[in-house]
Each structure stands twice: as C-alpha cells, then as structure tokens.
Homo-oligomer: A and B are copies of this chain.
C-alpha cells in the first residue's frame, strides 16, 4: 500500500484513501483476502487522525470492497456488486458524459480521447468483469 495524500487537493483525505485502495485492488497490487494496513498504522504513516482512516475503512466496508473484523484487521473482499445493472450503467454513463464534455471544451479531438481511453483500459484489463 503506497498512498500519497495531496493536502493541496480539494478532494477530502478520507476520499483519497478510498480512491487509493480501490485503485490498488483494480491494479492487482493488493489481492483477494490480503490484509490492509491497520487504522492506527496508516494514521501514523500518513500523519493524519485515525478517525479519518476509520471513516474511509467504514465506507469501503459499506461498499463491499473490504471486510473488517475488530481484533483482526481489514481485508480485501470478493468483488460482487450489489447494485442493479441498470443503475450501474446510469452511473458510468453519467461519468463518461462529464469527461466527454470536458474534452470538448478542452478542444481535444475525438481520436485522441478514444486513444487515451484505450490506453487506460489496457491497464485494468485483468480485473474487469467477465
């Protein structure tokens, strides 16, 4: 787990931790069943309040990304999305549209954007759904 907190970012710290965990799982840097750093340990490393880490872990558990057990630790859970297919599509499309809009206003060409998309996809190809 290598997490870089950007204090100048307007993205909340607890959210940056959630982002990092999700990213590392998607990139297979941490795998199913592996243990995450403890709340207090991560808090020490990053020099932030343990409550902030706890908040991130709590939300990750709510989302089904990890499972936690007091006395034991936090572990990477199996992937099984509890949201319905239609809702998932809605969410993703919404995010894709925002990118497209941003790209238009940045005067990025259709071809460029498509190529960048392909590059990104390649990075995660091992962990996509079946």
Closest 3 CB pairs of A and B: A107-B129, A26-B104, A110-B128
CA distance A127 to B104 in the complex (A): 6
Range of interface residues on A (Cβ < 8 Å) = 35 or more
CA distance A129 to B117 in the complex (A): 16
User: Does A93 sit at the interface, judged by CB under 8 A?
Assistant: yes
Nearest neighbor of A95 in chain B, beta-carbon distance: B99
Of A34-42, A43-51, A67-75, A84-92, the one touching chain B: A84-92
CA distance A80 to B117 in the complex (A): 23
User: Does A113 sit at the interface, judged by CB under 8 A?
Assistant: yes
Q: Knowing A92-B108, A113-B92 are in contact, say whether A120-B97 is a contact too (CB < 8 A).
A: yes
Cβ-defined contact, B101 with A23, below 8 A: yes
Cβ-defined contact, A113 with B128, below 8 A: yes
Q: Knowing A110-B128, A114-B121 are in contact, say whether A95-B104 is a contact too (CB < 8 A).
A: no
**Which chain B residues lie closer than 8 Å to A114 at the CB level?**
117, 121
**Which chain B residues lie closer than 8 Å to A113 at the CB level?**
92, 121, 128
User: Does A25 sit at the interface, judged by CB under 8 A?
Assistant: yes
**Which chain B residues lie closer than 8 Å to A79 at the CB level?**
104-105, 107
**Which chain B residues lie closer than 8 Å to A105 at the CB level?**
22, 25-26, 63, 65, 79, 81
